Amino acid sequence: MRRLRNRAGWVLALLLAAAGAAQAAVSVQIVSPVAGQPVFGKTEVQVAVSSTESVTSVEVFVNGKLVGTATQAPWVVTFEAGDQNIKREIKAVVHGASGATASNAVLIQPVQIDDQLDLRLQQLFVTVTRGQARTLDLGEGDFKIYDNGKRQDIITFGRGELPLTAVLLLDTSESMQGERIKYARRGATNFLDGLKNVDEASVVMFSDRLLRATPFVADKKVLAKALEETEATGGTAVNDFLYMSLKLLEPRVGRRVVILLSDGADVHSVVPMSEVLWKARTGQAMIYWIQLDENKHKSYVSSWRSVEENDEEYKTLNKAVEESGGRIEKIANAAELEGAFQAILQELREQYVLGYYPSDIKKDGRWHEVKVDVQRGGVRARTRDGYLDF
């Protein structure tokens, strides 16, 4: 009996050793994202595999659900994290040809939004061009971020069709009557038609007062209805409603953008453009301005401001757009509106997102200059210029 027990123990030991050898034949490590970092939108899971035998596949699970399988190196699986600020367990399982397996998991923490949080994730949405064309062939290692001249660690990285939250801020003043409003509706509708299921938008139509505003929704029918129900009337208050749009975007998560359609000739706003610039600097929204430039900018006097003051308002609007990482899309006539909306949407689909926690936050209200360098020749990167430290 003792001999049988010894033999059984010996066999068991052999089985355990064999299992250990099989387990040791392959190993896996999740390289990105790293434990603790929040993820949003299209997310790449990069996996390092070590093996003494052929590897047949690497599976990636998020909260227990299989989100993708890689069958060859580089071992990368992409999944859509969306804009939910939740905890996620990302697990990678490698399978060897012999049946050996190994796994590794990281826990992704949500961004904590409370008064105790001193660190604020700064997200940079970066447009990279090579010549006249945008490019999406760069990796995380091709980028360097500097905050007030200090190199920062990149915490999140993504590219391509990342979810967005957009405000379509449409000047619907009297000057937009006729062909202008027709083409504006058509261009905005095309933009909305190009949104994905994970995107949200709000349509805000204004003159010297708020004419129509929808909540943030993914339902394109609700948004399209708002476009059709509003007629062009009244004066123009660009500052007031651009400020309002930036304020509405503040609590949203992920990529936020205002698309302003206007000639920029503000007449009735109570809010000065300096306040709009401040709001843009304290937030993370991009501003794209489709500038109706048929008659070019003309100096003018209004009941609120002198000629010089109105010229300064116009210059500050330009500054707010450029600092935000957006751009001005100038069009010669209203018939170009469809193409302008489409060009902006296409650009938003072809951006990188880099996230970092600033290493020198003091909450002193000072300006932090942000610079993104690309470690590839022949390319240019555009993103927002910085932020106010609050």
Residue 226's contacts (CB-CB under 8 Å, 6 or more residues apart) are: 203, 205, 212, 213, 214
9 pLDDT more than 50: no
CA 34 to chain CA centroid, nearest Å: 19
Question: Given this model, what pLDDT does residue 285 score?
Answer: 96
Q: Comparing 241 with 4, which gets the higher pLDDT?
A: 241
In contact, 26 and 54? CB cutoff 8 Å: no
101 pLDDT more than 70: yes
Task: For residue range 10-43, list pLDDT tens digits in order.
Answer: 433 433 343 343 344 788 889 888 776 677 777 8
**pLDDT band for position 86 (50/70/90)?**
confident
Average pLDDT, the chain: 85
Q: Comparing 361 with 167, which gets the higher pLDDT?
A: 167
In contact, 231 and 258? CB cutoff 8 Å: no
Residue 209's contacts (CB-CB under 8 Å, 6 or more residues apart) are: 234, 237
pTM of the model: 0.69
Question: Given this model, what pLDDT does residue 294 score?
Answer: 55
CA distance 245 to 114: 23
Question: Given this model, what pLDDT does residue 58 score?
Answer: 95
In contact, 389 and 368? CB cutoff 8 Å: yes
Task: For residue range 194-252, list pLDDT tens digits in order.
Answer: 998 889 999 999 999 999 999 999 899 999 999 988 888 888 899 999 999 999 999 88
Work out the average pLDDT over 310-326: 93
Residue whose C-alpha is closest to residue 111's, from 359, 388, 355: 355
Residue 280's contacts (CB-CB under 8 Å, 6 or more residues apart) are: 246, 287, 320, 323, 324
Question: Given this model, what pLDDT does residue 14 score?
Answer: 36
Task: For residue range 149-203, list pLDDT tens digits in order.
Answer: 999 999 989 887 678 999 999 999 888 888 889 999 999 999 999 998 889 999 9
Q: ∠257-259-263 over CA atoms, to 5°?
A: 150
**pLDDT band for position 296 (50/70/90)?**
low
CA 169 to chain CA centroid, nearest Å: 19
Percent of the chain with pLDDT over 90: 49
**pLDDT band for position 117 (50/70/90)?**
very low
In contact, 41 and 353? CB cutoff 8 Å: yes
Residue 53's contacts (CB-CB under 8 Å, 6 or more residues apart) are: 25, 26, 96, 97, 98, 100
Task: For residue range 257-275, list pLDDT tens digits in order.
Answer: 999 998 767 888 888 999 9
Which region, left, alpha or beta, applies to residue 110 given φ > 0 means left and ψ of -120 to 50 means alpha? Answer: beta
Question: Given this model, what pLDDT does residue 361 score?
Answer: 86
Residues in a beta bridge with 372 = 145
Q: Comparing 296 with 295, which gets the higher pLDDT?
A: 296
Domains of the chain, each with CATH number or no CATH: 25-108 (2.60.40.10), 122-160+352-388 (no CATH), 164-348 (3.40.50.410)
